[in-house]
């Protein structure tokens, strides 16, 4: 580390904190390096060729774990979005039903009324529908 000159802001601090050697290996996920495995030693020249070869085997395992974590997070986010969308749709459908009942209009016209109120009030359609439902419950 003391002779490394590629990172002049980092290496003096690392050496001062006791790092004599470091080994960094990229972690490939989906044909791109998305992270790194960094190994440090207090010894100078701590990583021989056999150690480097052995360390090169670990990133592929880490890549699988990272890819699985990403897939899980993406799937969980999609499920949450789908639940929100279904809840929003239910609220809007209920508000349409209230308007059909109160105004004697078609479901299409009721939806148009909600859309116009949303645009005029610069509010989300769901907010308009929820407000209509609350108002209807109080009446």
Task: Delimit the domains of the chain by residue range.
Answer: 1-56, 78-139
Closest Cα partner for 23 from 32, 13, 31, 14? 14
Please tell me the predicted confidence (pLDDT) of residue 29: 76
Q: What is the CATH number of domain 78-139?
A: 1.10.10.10
69 DSSP β-pair partners: none
Q: 45-94 pLDDT, tens per residue?
A: 999 999 999 999 998 898 888 889 889 999 999 999 999 999 999 999 99
pLDDT digits (tens, 9 = 90+) for 85-100: 999 999 999 999 999 9
Q: According to the model, what pLDDT value does residue 41 have?
A: 96
Phi (first) and psi of residue 35, to 5 degrees: -175, -175
Question: Other C-beta atoms within 10 Å of 95: how many?
Answer: 25
Q: In 3D, which of 60, 72, 49 has the Cα closest to residue 26?
A: 60
Does position 30 have pLDDT exceeding 80, yes or no? no
Confidence of residue 137 (pLDDT cuts 50, 70, 90): confident
Q: Would the pTM of this model clear 0.75, i.e. be above it? A: no
């Amino acid at each position: 580390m003391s002779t490394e000159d590629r990172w002049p802001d980092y290496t003096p601090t690392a050496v001062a904190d006791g790092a004599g050697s470091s080994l960094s290996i990229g972690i490939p996920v989906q044909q791109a390096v998305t992270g790194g495995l960094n190994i440090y030693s207090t010894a100078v020249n701590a990583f021989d060729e056999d150690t480097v070869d052995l360390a090169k085997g670990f990133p592929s395992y880490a890549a699988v774990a990272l890819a699985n974590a990403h897939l899980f997070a993406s799937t969980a986010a999609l499920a949450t979005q789908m639940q929100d969308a279904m809840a929003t749709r239910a609220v809007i459908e209920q508000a349409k039903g209230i308007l059909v009942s109160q105004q004697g209009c078609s479901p299409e016209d009721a939806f148009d009324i909600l859309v116009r109120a949303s645009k005029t009030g610069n509010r989300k359609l769901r907010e308009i529908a929820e407000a209509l439902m609350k108002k209807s419950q109080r009446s």
